[in-house]
């Protein structure tokens, strides 16, 4: 993304440690997935969204394409949930997320090209350290 949003380091063992996120699982909320180019997607239904059908290897999800490209995340009214390693679950909204691109290289230095991979994932901002 070009801006230093922070580094996500998820659980890597059965014990927590300093500098590691305790995020274990979250609802899907993303942008520009290869099956949904130029649009937002989520596992949760939200206003003005349409269904992107599933395939034999992937599930269906909800899609929303803003009229002028990327929308203001505060305008997308959807409640998402995240589960943490200590067993608690929190709800959060798109306006409380940070973007994360998936790396195409093992060292994490190069993201997938736009529209060719999993797109941008939005994680709860409190999951980053």
| Residue 82 within a domain | yes
**Domain assignment of residue 93, given as a range:** 23-127
Determine, yes or no, domain membership for 117: yes
42 part of a folded domain: yes
**How far is the C-alpha of 12 from the C-alpha of 14, rounded, in Å?**
7
**First CA to last CA distance, the chain:** 17
128, 7 contact by CB (below 8 A) = yes
Residue 98, both tokens: 């940070």
**pLDDT computed for residue 105 by the predictor:** 85
> Look-up: residue for tokens 């490209």?
69
5, part of any domain:
no
Largest CA distance in the chain: 45
Instruction: Give a yes or no: residue 87 inside a domain.
Output: yes
Question: pTM surpassing 0.85?
Answer: no
Asked whether residue 88 is domain-assigned, the answer is yes
Residue 17 within any structural domain of the chain: no
Dump pLDDT digits (tens) for 87-97: 899 999 999 99
Q: How confident is the model over 19-53, as pLDDT tens digits?
A: 667 888 999 999 988 888 888 999 998 888 899 99
Number of domains in the chain: 1
């Amino acid at each position: 993304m070009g801006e230093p949003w922070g580094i996500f380091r998820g659980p890597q063992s059965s014990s927590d440690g300093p500098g590691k996120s305790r995020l274990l699982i979250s609802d899907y909320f993303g942008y520009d997935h290869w099956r949904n180019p130029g649009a937002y997607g989520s596992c949760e239904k939200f206003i003005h969204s349409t269904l992107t059908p599933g395939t034999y290897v992937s599930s269906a999800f909800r899609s929303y394409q803003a009229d002028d490209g990327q929308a203001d995340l505060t305008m997308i009214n959807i409640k998402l949930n995240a589960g943490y390693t200590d067993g608690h679950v929190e709800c959060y909204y798109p306006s409380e997320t940070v973007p994360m691109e998936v790396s195409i290289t093992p060292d994490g230095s190069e993201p997938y090209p736009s529209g060719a991979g999993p797109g941008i994932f939005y994680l709860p901002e409190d999951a980053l350290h």
